[in-house]
Structure formats: structure tokens, C-alpha cells
Amino acid sequence: MNEQRNQTNNEEALGARSSDRPASGNIYKEYTVEETDTLADIGRKHNLSWEQIAEANRDVLDDPDFVKPGFKLKIPNIRKL
């Protein structure tokens, strides 16, 4: 059990990251906002527009220009053909 707990703590210590597990059972990845992130930065990291990120998170984002470090955002799993 300690191994599992230590692994989780080590992963959290790595900072912001995306996970491949679906957020809320939908077709989303989860991303934790870093200190200097903007929606445009996050979109570039995931090959999406800031508008796509904002739309996926309209239930938690009052203002797309304001994202706070530690926010958990949904990243839509959109495949470009």
C-alpha cells in the first residue's frame, strides 16, 4: 500500500500533466494548470484551440482569460483527420 501511495505522491510532485484516463467517464483527458499557463498554451500542448478547451470547461470557467494554477481542466479527445 505504501508503494502505491508513494507512486501517487511522486506523480503529483512532477507538476502539471495530462492523464490518459477519461475525466468523468467522457472522452476527455484531465490537465492540471501550471503557474504560467493560458488556455492558448494548453491548447498548443494538445493540438487544440483555446476555444475548444474553453468550450469543454464552460461549466467550471467563468472567464477563459483567467485560469488558476491547480485548476483541473478537461481536454477534449478530438482526433484530427
Banded model confidence at residue 53, pLDDT cuts 50, 70, 90: very high
Output the pLDDT for position 40.
96
Q: What letter would DSSP give residue 28?
A: E
For the chain, what is the largest distance between any 2 Cα atoms, rounded to a whole number of angstroms?
A: 43
Say which DSSP state 21 is in: S
d(CA 23, CA 75): 9
Other CB atoms within a 10 A radius of the CB of residue 56 amount to: 22
List the grid coordinates of 18: 495530462
Q: What are the boundaries of each domain within the chain?
A: 16-76
CATH class in words for 16-76: alpha beta
pTM metric for this prediction = 0.63
> Distance between CA atoms of 2 and 79, rounded to whole angstroms?
38
